[in-house]
Amino acid sequence: MKYQSQKVALAYFYVAMGLFAIQVLGGLLAGWVYVSPNTLSEAVPFNVIRMIHTNALIVWLLLGFFGATYYLLPEEAERELFSPMLAYVQLAILVVGTLAAVAGYLIGIHGGREFLEQPLWVKYGIFVAAVIFLVNVSMTALAGRKTAITNILLLGLWLLSLLWVFAIINPVNLGLDKLYWWFVVHLWVEATWELVMAAILGYLMLKLTGVDREVIEKWLYVIVSTALFSGILGTGHHYLWIGTPGYWQWTGTIFSMFEVVPFFAMMSFAFVMVWKGRKNHPNKAALLWSLGCSVVAFFGAGVWGFMHTIHGVNYYTHGTQVTAAHGHLSFYGAYVMLNLAMITFAMPVLRGRAPYNQVLNMVSFWLMTSGMAFMTFTLTFAGVVQTHLQRVMGMTFMEVQDQLGLFYLMRFGAGLAVVVGALIFIYSQLVVRREIIDPGPVAVPGE
Ligand code: HEM
Ligand code: HEM
Ligand SMILES: [Fe+2]
């Protein structure tokens, strides 16, 4: 660790990993409710479990982004953080807000609106925390060296924080409500978070492959411009069938088809950098997560997104298990794996444990990734059957659900593999083991 203030990242990563565990365990419980629907139906109803699952996901991913920023910014800007103190205050606000929101959910207090169920005062708290964050990182960046990586990262973080304002605006009219809701949900994952992803991947590639900064920057500019070009008007793929004007069908379809491009570019970027790189960095696990992230993001977001983004297709698949399949693989590939790559990279440095044993970490990679892939396949099959029976044959929702039991059982099994993988990952980070390097035959003096 080159700069003392990078240490704040450690606290962020710890909290992020704690919420990650809660998130996947919540998912597993929700998956069990699909298998055995009356489980806990009085004490903790499905909608509450689901809220905890999805909210924990978003919060830990954001905490991971904040931690990653605090870790890489001092190195890029070549100076200490403006204020480590403010960074801890920001974390405290977010932790209190999250705990209060969860406590509220458990006793049935929430504001509706998927992903944005937090009570209004928590939303204001998050906004305050975001402002503190922006001040802290902007002051650091302005006073130091400016690189393409930090510029893109900060642009993404500024825009995503500003979009949070639309989480606070909640019109009575349901159509308008959805219009604004997607400004947060879609413009996060398919525009601003993509900038964060490109910047962090760029940083990891810089460190892990040793390719020249200029080469990495050129790729980043292509990725960022294609992401914004496609992603902003691509919001239209959520305005296809919700009562918005008809032009959204073509706008949404065409622009969102282009959204595949930045994800393909990120995948090509990662592989070309590794191919061109001369450096043999010892942290192979971080490289595995970085490459895996770019590939699974391409499939989850790019391919599985493309699958239902054309308006004639979405007319049938909207809101079915096809959507859930895409939601899982895209979030996992793009943002979960990105954060795990960064944590894998930074943790041994923050804890002074390099060189370290990466076997458990890599085991968790394969377990989680194959579990997620299997879950995606089962949900996709469930979704296709559901679409056909419900939307083509006209059976009712619950009749169709009765036909899908086997898929839901298999989803639970896949989810179990993901949870075990996640716990192994967390263990491998909490108990970072040093690599025992065999010194080879030792010459005994005097012989
Ligand atoms: C890191 C891993 C995971 C990620 C990124 C993730 C992400 C998500 C997302 C984004 C949603 C909302 C989906 C939508 O609106 O279409 C969701 C819902 C859900 N997830 Fe996960 N999840 C993960 C792990 C799990 C696991 C291990 C299970 C266990 C079976 C699980 C089961 C569920 C269930 C049952 C729902 C509710 C689906 C519904 O309402 O029909 N998830 N998850
Ligand atoms: C990493 C990037 C992405 C993430 C994390 C993501 C996540 C999600 C999630 C969670 C949903 C369900 C939202 C809900 O209704 O509750 C969704 C819906 C959707 N996504 Fe993505 N997505 C990503 C990229 C893409 C891309 C690139 C495309 C198109 C090429 C796409 C196309 C769609 C479409 C069409 C829907 C609406 C499905 C429906 O009508 O039910 N997504 N996405
Ligand atoms: Fe979208």
Q: What is the mean pLDDT of the chain?
A: 95
Q: CB neighbours of 17 closer than 8 A, spacing ≥ 6?
A: 60, 343, 426, 429, 430
Q: Would you list the DSSP string of 287-322?
A: HHHHHHHHHHHIIIIIIHHHTTTSHHHHHHHTTSHH
Q: Locate 156 and state its tokens.
A: 């993404």
Residues 234-238: contacts with CB within 8 Å, 24+ apart? 234/186, 234/190, 234/258, 234/259, 235/182, 235/183, 235/186, 235/187, 235/190, 237/309, 237/311, 237/314, 238/178, 238/182, 238/186
Per-residue pLDDT tens digits for 184-225: 999 999 999 999 999 999 999 999 999 999 999 999 999 999
Residue 280 banded pLDDT, cuts 50, 70, 90: confident
- Whether 447 shows a pLDDT value over 70: the answer reads no
The answer to whether the CB of 337 is under 6 A from ligand 1 is no
Between 153 and 445, whose confidence is greater? 153
The answer to whether the CB of 409 is under 6 A from ligand 1 is no
Measured in degrees and rounded to the nearest 5, phi and psi for residue 422 equal -65, -40
The answer to whether the CB of 324 is under 6 A from ligand 1 is yes
Per-residue pLDDT tens digits for 343-370: 999 999 999 887 688 999 999 999 999 9
Per-residue pLDDT tens digits for 429-439: 998 677 666 65
Per-residue pLDDT tens digits for 150-166: 999 999 999 999 999 99
- In angstroms, rounded to a whole number, what is the distance separating the alpha carbons of residues 320 and 325? 9
Q: What is the pLDDT of residue 436?
A: 63
Distance 102 CA to ligand 1 centre (A): 17
> Which residue's alpha carbon is at the smallest distance from atom 1 of ligand 1?
332
Domain ranges of the chain: 1-146
Per-residue pLDDT tens digits for 392-405: 999 999 999 999 99
Give the mean model confidence (pLDDT) for residues 324-336.
98
210: three-class secondary structure by DSSP: coil
CA distance between the termini of the chain: 42
The answer to whether the CB of 305 is under 6 A from ligand 2 is yes
| Ligand found nearest the CA of 232 | 3
Per-residue pLDDT tens digits for 66-84: 999 999 999 999 999 999 9
The Cα-based distances of 262 to 257, 301, 339 in angstroms read 11, 10, 19
Distance 328 CA to ligand 1 centre (A): 6
The answer to whether the CB of 19 is under 6 A from ligand 1 is no
Closest atom, ligand 1, to C-alpha of 114:
15
Residue with tokens 């088809």: 257
> Which residue's alpha carbon is at the smallest distance from atom 19 of ligand 1?
27
Closest atom, ligand 1, to C-alpha of 332:
5
Q: Locate 357 and state its tokens.
A: 């044993």
Our mutation pick for probing the ligand 1 site, out of 53, 186, 188, 304, counting the most ligand atoms within 8 A of Cβ, is: 53
Q: What is the pLDDT of residue 355?
A: 67
Residue 356 DSSP one-character state: B
